[in-house]
Amino acid sequence: MHFVFIVQGEGRGHMTQAISLRNMLVQNGHEVKAVLVGQSARREIPHFFIEKIKSKVIGFESPNFVLDSKKKGLRIAESFRVNLMKSRTFWSNLHVIDQTVQQHQPHVVVNFYDLLAGIYSFCYKDKRKFKFVCVGHQLLFEHSGFEFTRKRKIEKNLLRLHTRITTSKSDLNLGLSFVTMPHEPKKRLYVVPPLLRNEVLSQKSEDKNFLLGYMVNEGYAEDIIAWHSRHKHISLVCFWDKKEAKDPYCPHENLVFYQLNDERFVEHMRTCSGYLSTAGFESICEAMYWGKPILMVPTAHHYEQLCNSLDATKAGAGISHDKFDISLLMEYIPRHKNRQNEFQEWVQRAETIFMQLLTQ
């Protein structure tokens, strides 16, 4: 079977999921003909993704969030305004998606939670000759068993609206989950394991006595540097996406910031003592696979990440806080209850489950 991927390019999570699924498909005799990546002006498609996806990569501008002045949190109202002003560009990019699909004539188009891909599915539904499948942790927000925070109901409704647009006219929705949950076929919703790459699955965890941090939004580095200035005896390695910064950047002893490099990041994840990050789904899963205690700090005004942190805490991944107070992680590490074996068993079922759902 032939596949085309459409990947949301914000952060690394959806990209690494796409790499994992591509490898599964190829190992089972299928082919990914092209990969479209929705991106914003402030992001570049990482080199590691272009190298490892091993298919033609086509970038296009897709709706995205606007950061606040400190480059930490999201500005929801401003994001809506800016994206509305770019509506002509987005409408034009629907044709970019369609041209790629028409050129390669896939049996299946897989959408890794890109909003414009969902709009494409709706607008071009009458000419579709392929199965449209959506993949992402966010799809679990439609599951009857998913627990939301009781606060911020407006943001909850906006998030669910976003998810419903992204999955518009889909044939199948595959919700990535930390734990097993019942399928809900009436909603076309099937609960599946996380998509982790071979670099994670094939290596064992070690502890080399340092902490690892990852932040998509560079503004959080100020908090990290301020904390570490009072705890310089702690070895801390961080990854960020500040394109103009030196690589590596060392504010002071025992603290280093690297530009995002996939192989380097995975090796540091494998060997760290604990992990701190904004609450992106994929890196939480990698930390859980290797049994690493986690401090999750959801990006300000990012309701999706708040939901991720609550879900991961419930699954035993670690603790959540509204600031990068790394002392909390240091205190938590000795009492972390490792659920590594249980989580690994769930993850290792991924290939069988995905092949059954995608190729039947």
Q: How do residues 160-201 score in pLDDT, each as one tens digit?
A: 888 999 999 999 999 999 999 999 999 999 999 999 988 899
Q: Give the number of C-alpha atoms closer than 13 A to the C-alpha of residue 62, restricted to the C-beta side.
A: 27
**Rama region for 20: left / alpha / beta (φ>0; ψ in -120 to 50; rest):** alpha
250-257 own/partner pairs: CB under 8 Å, 24+ apart = 251/225, 252/228, 254/228, 255/224, 255/225, 255/228, 257/221
Encode pLDDT of 262-292 as tens digits.
889 999 999 999 999 988 889 999 999 999 9
pTM: 0.88
Res. 10: pLDDT tops 60:
yes
Contact 84, 233 (CB under 8 A): no
Cα 206–chain centre separation:
24
Q: Is the pLDDT of residue 146 over 70?
A: yes
Asked if omega into 251 is within 30° of 0 (cis), the reply is no
Q: Is residue 79 pLDDT above 80, yes or no?
A: no
pLDDT grade, residue 151 (50/70/90)?
Answer: confident
Q: Is the pLDDT of residue 145 over 60?
A: yes
Q: Report the sign of the C-alpha dihedral through residues 244, 81, 141, 167, in that order.
A: negative
What dotted CATH number matches 199-345? 3.40.50.2000
Residue 69 pLDDT level (bands cut at 50, 70, 90):
low
Element (DSSP H or E) covering residue 3 = strand 2-8
Q: What is the pLDDT of residue 124?
A: 87
Residue ranges, comma separated, of all CATH 3.40.50.2000 domains in the chain are: 2-196+348-359, 199-345
Which percentage of the chain shows pLDDT scores above 90?
Answer: 64
Q: Give the pLDDT confidence score for residue 67 in this predicted structure.
A: 58
Residue 358, CA distances (Å) to 24, 30, 231 in order:
11, 11, 49
Residue 27 tokens read as: 């190992």
Task: Tell me the C-alpha distance between 180 and 176, whole Å.
Answer: 10
**Which residue type sits at 14?**
H
Q: Which class in CATH covers the domain with range 2-196+348-359?
A: alpha beta
